[in-house]
Amino acid sequence: MIYLLHEDAGATNIILKDDAFKHMIKARRQSVGDTVLLRKLDDKNNYSYTITHSTKKEATLSLEKTEMASQELKPLHIGWCMIDPKSIEKVLPSLCELGVTAISFIYAHRSQKNFQIDEKRLERIMMNSMQQCGRYEKMQFHVDVALESFITHHPQTVVLDFCDKALSHNDNFTSVLLGPEGGFDNEEKELLKSLEVRRLDTPMVLRSETAAIAIASLLLL
């Protein structure tokens, strides 16, 4: 873990309790005299604390240094036609690490409508990943987005589909659309016909979640 997200980060003294205490002291085996890094969401600062006291249930941290620290991430917004949320949750930490800036979850005509996004769960997964990889800015989630609305707001989107032209590391697309299992229907294809289309350069048929990681890797790394 690179840092700990804590709502009181920046305060002169902090008492770590409950899960934060268990993770920092028991799991990571930090002890009195160690320096630990704390941040809080929507704050540009790193806060360095020293552990000054520890018991079996809580630890006292004392603020030593405050430094402004921000990151520049390449923009990549994924329009993701709905698949099983369990599959999304499995790869979300990887997409967070790669630097994906936003995901819009879209119900295409062939999407299974019984799949529902638990936005709070995604937020928890994302924040755990942020602490592990050192990412500062949150990934943005947009739930239940209409396909037409996504295209209207992101007219330069590239569509991932079967075609002759492969996506390459040199492409600089900032918005990409992943279709549903079974593909887009004729009405949706008509809506998307003005957009650039690319495929991944592989003979394999990739699952949606694998394609998301592959695209993020190509465009962001």
The tokens describing 159, both together, are 């569509």
Q: For residue 41, count other CB atoms closer than 10 A to its CB.
A: 14
What integer pLDDT is reported at residue 181 of this predicted model? 87
> Taking a C-beta distance cutoff of 8 angstroms, is the pair 62, 34 a contact?
no
Averaged pLDDT in 10-residue chunks for the chain of 221 residues: 95 96 90 97 96 96 96 96 96 98 96 92 97 96 96 96 92 95 92 95 94 97 94
Ordered by where they begin, the domains of the chain are 4-68 (2.40.240.20), 77-220 (3.40.1280.10)
> Taking a C-beta distance cutoff of 8 angstroms, is the pair 37, 2 a contact?
yes
What integer pLDDT is reported at residue 101 of this predicted model? 98
What integer pLDDT is reported at residue 113 of this predicted model? 87
What's the whole-model pTM score? Answer: 0.93
What integer pLDDT is reported at residue 68 of this predicted model? 96
Provide the sign of the torsion angle of the four alpha carbons 184, 188, 194, 195, taken in this order: negative
